[in-house]
Structure 1
Amino acid sequence: MSDEERDPSGRDAGRAPSGPPRHTRRLSDKILIAFHHACDQGDFEVAEELLRILEMMLTRRPVSPDVNRRKNMESLVAAHERLWLLRHPDANEN
């Protein structure tokens, strides 16, 4: 397919839009990924704020039963631990 047949977003210009975009990851997963990216970049202030938002999302009352709640909480605890270890590098020199 040539570039002329695609719209600016890279989709086939000849096809009708198929509705709203499909999201493959939950918002909480995307925030967790952004948290790890901020940690990798050394931006601990942003990482802490993202972690606070993630914690708010995971601890509020769920609208529907959440079968992944335990896994989500384990990820949240691991994220808190990572941020703490990054902020206290001499603490893990045992």
Structure 2
Amino acid sequence: DSTSVASALSDAQRAIDDVEKLKAQLAEKKKKRNLAVHVLEETYKAAKHARRAQQARDKADAPPKAPKTPKASKVKPPNVAAPDKPATAAKKSKKR
């Protein structure tokens, strides 16, 4: 009976040791994963910074845009009455 108790204690100790070993392996894998995630985050930040810097360089190298001029179709000529007729007389004659 004492041999079975000793065997059970030995098995329990082995299981405890295995659990401790697995915990250590898991901690190491988490550490590596966290490091990999950190490297990916930093790489992403660097790539984003490089892209913005490239866009700024491209914008600085681009020729300046000409100022926009209004289109001829949108420009309305001023309402000028004929020199011999006042504007009100011209309007009254159209109504009749």
TM-score (norm 1): 0.26
Larger RCO, structure (CA 8 Å, separation 6 or more): 1
From the CA coordinates, give the structure whose radius of gyration is larger. 2
Task: Report which of the two has the higher share of helix.
Answer: 2
TM-score (norm 2): 0.25
